[in-house]
Amino acid sequence: MTDARDSPPAWVPVEHRWFGLDRRTFRPALIVLVISLLLVYGWQAVDAAIPWHNEIKAGDVLDLGGGATAVPPVGWQLESGTLVGATPAESPTSLDVLLASGGATIELRGAAFNGTAAAFLDQAERADGDDDRPAVDGSRGTVTTEAGLVGVAQSSTSPGGDRLDAAFKTATGTSQAVAAAPALLVRVRTAPGQFEQHSDEVSALLRSITPEVDQ
């Protein structure tokens, strides 16, 4: 015989009740809700809510090694690389800078190369391999920076996205000095049809590249 004073099986003590609900179940339910949202909306939504901590600000200058510099676009994320004034400085032959903004990236790579900028660009494109060849190539042209560096640029597009490769030798002066200077490769990658919205920022960065400082 059940004692009348015994609580019914589903009875919730007053101190644990909130509008008739058992507050002890709130935390497990919240955890399940968060996991469900992650599964539905993915981690990209979470990443978008996290503020960037390496955002390029007005006045920031990239250290390309050997005194060479470039001005990155304001508001982009500096994922790797060194700004002028930071230590240690970049080496011009092992440079690896990566900037990102949404689905677009700009990578600057340095290498030792005893030859012309055009030959360096040819080598970089051959290294991509057949699987990375774009569907449609644009015309190859020259790019001249405000400091007088003359580079070679090649644009292309494919179902995977739009791209621009530009190669420079980071020195001015005699042909002998330029040939012996470290080489710089700038690689721009965007989602399909998205290059135009970043073209002004890319052009400004290319024009801002300055040569090495004479020792």
How much is the mean pLDDT over the chain?
81
Question: What does the pLDDT average to over 199-215?
Answer: 90
Q: With beta carbons less than 8 A apart as the criterion, state whether 61 and 41 touch.
A: no
Among the ranges given (1-10, 133-142, 169-178), the one the predictor scored with the smallest mean pLDDT: 1-10
Question: Does 32 or 97 have the greater pLDDT score?
Answer: 97
Residue 127 placed within a domain:
yes
* Average pLDDT, integer, range 157-184: 84
Same domain membership, residue 200 and residue 106 = yes
Same domain membership, residue 66 and residue 45: no
Does 36 share its domain with 78?
A: no
Both tokens assigned to 100:
């990102």
86 plus 169 within the same structural domain: yes
- For 8-43, the pLDDT digits (tens) are 555 445 554 454 555 555 566 667 666 766 665 554
102 with 22, same domain?
Answer: no
Residues 96 and 32 in one domain: no
Residue-level length of the chain: 215
**What's the pLDDT band for 49 if we cut at 50, 70, 90?**
very low
Classify residue 149: in a domain, yes or no: yes
Query: What is the rounded distance in angstroms from the CA atom of residue 107 to the CA atom of residue 9?
Result: 65
Q: Are residues 90 and 37 in the same domain?
A: no
What is this structure's pTM?
0.72
Residue 204 belongs to some domain of the structure: yes
| Confidence grade of residue 98 (pLDDT, cut at 50, 70, 90) | very high
Domain match, 80 and 182 both: yes
Mean pLDDT of 47-75: 84
| Radius of gyration for the alpha carbons in the chain, expressed in angstroms and rounded | 27
Residue 66 is assigned to a structural domain of this protein = yes
Range of the domain at 120: 62-208
Contact of 95 with 184, CB cutoff 8 Å: yes
Question: CATH number, domain at 101?
Answer: 3.40.1000
Pair type for strands 77-80 and 96-101: antiparallel
142 shares its domain with 42: no
Residues 163 and 105 in one domain: yes
pLDDT tens digits for range 64-87: 998 899 999 999 999 999 999 887
